[in-house]
Amino acid sequence: MSMQRRDFLKAGAAGFAVSLAGCAAMPGAAPKARVAVVGGGYGGATAAKYIRMLDPTIEVVLIEPNEAFVSCPISNLVLGGFKSMADITTPYTGLARHGVRVVRDTATAIDLERKQVRLARGDPVGFDRVVVSPGIDFMWEAMPALGSLDAQARLLHAWKAGPQTLQLRRALEAMPDGGVYVLAVPEAPYRCPPGPYERACQVAAYFKAAKGRSKVLLLDANPDVTSKGPLFKRAWSELYKDIIEYRPNSKAVDVDFRASVVKLDFGDVRGDVLNVLPPMKAGNIAAPFITANRRWCEVDWQTYESKAAKGVHVLGDSLQIAPLMPKSATMANGHGKVCAAAIVALINNEPPNPSPTLINTCYSMVSGKHAVHVASVHKYDERDRTMKAVPGSGGVSPAMSEIEGNYTMNWARNIWADTLG
């Protein structure tokens, strides 16, 4: 134990030297290995930071096109008018303090032969191992009207927090009182199972405060609310009666921008603001590693190494989920840490941890103050080589509460600091 600690101190000192010298020129000692991380979200940024924390002699390059991190969790509160874009934005500068080199560029391909990530603008980034954590992209082909890039850009999804979050907020502000906001939810699995139902609450909270004759129409492709169902339904009836209308088994199959209509299997639904979430799949850069249903990437749950390619690790919402594992921020953050520890072990020729665990804690704000949660703990099952929820653990809130609203914001601050700080 004292031995490990001494090694850690030694490694820390080496890391300090690297970070001092790294900016100006190559340090005297060449790094042990280089890991490229594609995507600076909850999965990728966490993996990048934790690799450096665990072994500062490994060089880490994070490739991310956005200037700052904008959180999907809490972004629905921007729609509700309770938070600003600044509140959900965190700079990438914190990662530099850990010696992560952040390259602001778009990864265009992962070249496994040359072991390089190709970039839209800059020189390729070579790697010994690569972490791919691009989140989700949309299956545009699911809706005929979304065939062109123009139509895709016009679709208001706000399911990747950023400019579209603000655009949707402005559309809601511009909507006349008495208007209808339509939110179309795709069949599970999709990013953030409770997200659409939380969004319905947030938009309804805004309508209740600012334009009382307006309606939220929730068109759900699923037969029922996919997460925290009884809790959301109670919030809808107690807080937003006559504002939110929920229609299960209502799958959006197309959209008509000109008529402002969402097309269902049976009939059209007109709305003043359309917020359609097309079906989702692994982020485009991860396409070569998709192995499940032409949508998601399968991995070894001890290392997050892709089942399609050695030396490639996939994290976060791009994954084919294990049973009862949601596509959530806390999960992606957890994937990042298990993967970071495994990569450090593999580079140092040590065995990775044979029994990784994950916790999911997912809060939803049902008003400006009240929240509900779902929590679960997942452990590695040796026989089935997957992560499984631990029987008897986990659960949901008994009811919405202000204290959980308070914990929601504390969760956000701590996970943002854990991912990027």
Partner 1 sequence: MKARAKVLVAGLAAAVAAIASAQQPAPPPPSFAAPNVSEQGARSMAATCAACHGTGGRSASGSSVPGLAGRPAESTVEAMKAFKDGKREATLMHQIAKAYSDAEIAALAAYFAKQPQ
Q: Using CB under 8 A, list all residues that contact partner 1.
A: 1, 4, 50, 223, 247-249, 266-267, 330, 333-334, 337-338, 341, 353-359, 361, 373, 375-377, 379-384, 388, 390-395, 397, 401, 403-404, 406-407, 410-411, 413-415, 417-418, 421
How far apart are CB 50 and partner 1 at their closest, in Å?
Answer: 7
How far apart are CB 135 and partner 1 at their closest, in Å?
Answer: 17
Angle at 312 between CA 351 and CA 339, to 5 degrees: 45
| Cα dist from 375 to 196, 331, 372, whole Å | 18, 11, 10
Q: 169 or 271: whose CB is closer to partner 1? A: 271
How far apart are CB 345 and partner 1 at their closest, in Å?
Answer: 8
Alpha-carbon 23 to chain mean position: 31
Q: 239 or 359: whose CB is closer to partner 1? A: 359
Residue in this structure with the two tokens 């809490």, named with its chain if needed: 74
Q: Which of 62, 64, 162, 153 is nearest to 106 (CA)?
A: 64
How far apart are CB 153 and partner 1 at their closest, in Å?
Answer: 33
Strand locations in 193-350 (E): 215-220, 244-247, 252-256, 261-264, 268-270, 273-276, 280-282, 290-292, 296-297, 312-314
Q: 123 or 384: whose CB is closer to partner 1? A: 384
How far apart are CB 118 and partner 1 at their closest, in Å?
Answer: 32
Q: At residue 11, what are phi and psi to the nearest 5 degrees? A: -60, -40
Q: 75 or 250: whose CB is closer to partner 1? A: 250
Q: 111 or 418: whose CB is closer to partner 1? A: 418
Asked if 228 contacts 396 with a C-beta cutoff of 8 angstroms, the reply is yes
Q: 167 or 414: whose CB is closer to partner 1? A: 414
How far apart are CB 355 and partner 1 at their closest, in Å?
Answer: 4
Q: 35 or 341: whose CB is closer to partner 1? A: 341
Tokens of 207: 């309508």
**Helix pair angle (42-54, 402-420), 10° resolution:** 60
How far apart are CB 62 and partner 1 at their closest, in Å?
Answer: 17
Q: Which of 265, 278, 260, 272 is nearest to 196 (CA)?
A: 278
Largest CA-CA distance found in the chain, in angstroms, rounded: 70
